[in-house]
Structure 1
Amino acid sequence: MSKQYHSFEEIDERLKVLNLQRLIAQESIKLQFNSAKTDLVPQQLRQGLGATFSQKGTIKSLVITFLSGKLLDFIKSKRKSRNRDRS
């Protein structure tokens, strides 16, 4: 159901509100993206997967370290290719 407006002032006010909501949503996405990047730091990724640093010599810790490094390299390569495509 669409709203009916009775003046241009009402339309302008609604457009301002929608623009502010859009800006808030953009900032929220940026914040979530930066939070996700922080969560992908290898140390935090290892902790999240259950590897403890008291077991530095375990195979589990080594495998998780290796896989997290590969994952970060993959993400970086995708970003670089995406940035080259934009240029």
Structure 2
Amino acid sequence: MSKQYHSFEEIDERLKVLNLQRLIAQESIKLQFNSTKTDLVPQQLRQGLGATFSQKGTIKSLVITFLSSKLLDFIKSKRKSRNRDLS
């Protein structure tokens, strides 16, 4: 249902609230993005995700841990095969 406004002041106040909510949401996204970048540092990847999974117990953390493990194993195998080719 739509809200009925009785004055322009009410409309202005509501617009200010909505603008602040939008700014908060943007900052939250920035914070989550930066947190994700920090968590994806290769040396900290497995350790951080293991701790996250034990603390939060989320399926998302489990999937990320599994995929990161597979990705790191893939990278290691590519490096080994490249080193064998160079020898």
Q: Normalising by the residue count of structure 2, what TM-score does the alignment of the two structures yield?
A: 0.55
SS state of the match for residue 38, structure 1? helix
Query: What's the RMSD between the two structures over aligned residues?
Result: 12.6
Going by fraction, where is helix more abundant, 1 or 2? 2
- The one-character-per-residue Cα deviations of 1:45-71 (angstroms, maximum 9, x if unpaired) are 132466999999999999999996996
Cα distance change on mapping 1:63 and 1:22 into 2, 3 Å: closer
Tell me the distance in 2 between the aligned counterparts of 1:66 and 1:31: 24
Q: Normalising by the residue count of structure 1, what TM-score does the alignment of the two structures yield?
A: 0.55
Other-structure match for 1:8: 8
Aligned residues: 87
- Percentage identity across paired residues of the two chains: 97
Gaps (5+ residues) in structure 2? none
Question: 63-72 or 44-53, which moves further after superposition?
Answer: 63-72
- The one-character-per-residue Cα deviations of 1:29-58 (angstroms, maximum 9, x if unpaired) are 000000000000011113246699999999
Gaps (5+ residues) in structure 1? none
Question: 20-29 or 67-76, which moves further after superposition?
Answer: 67-76
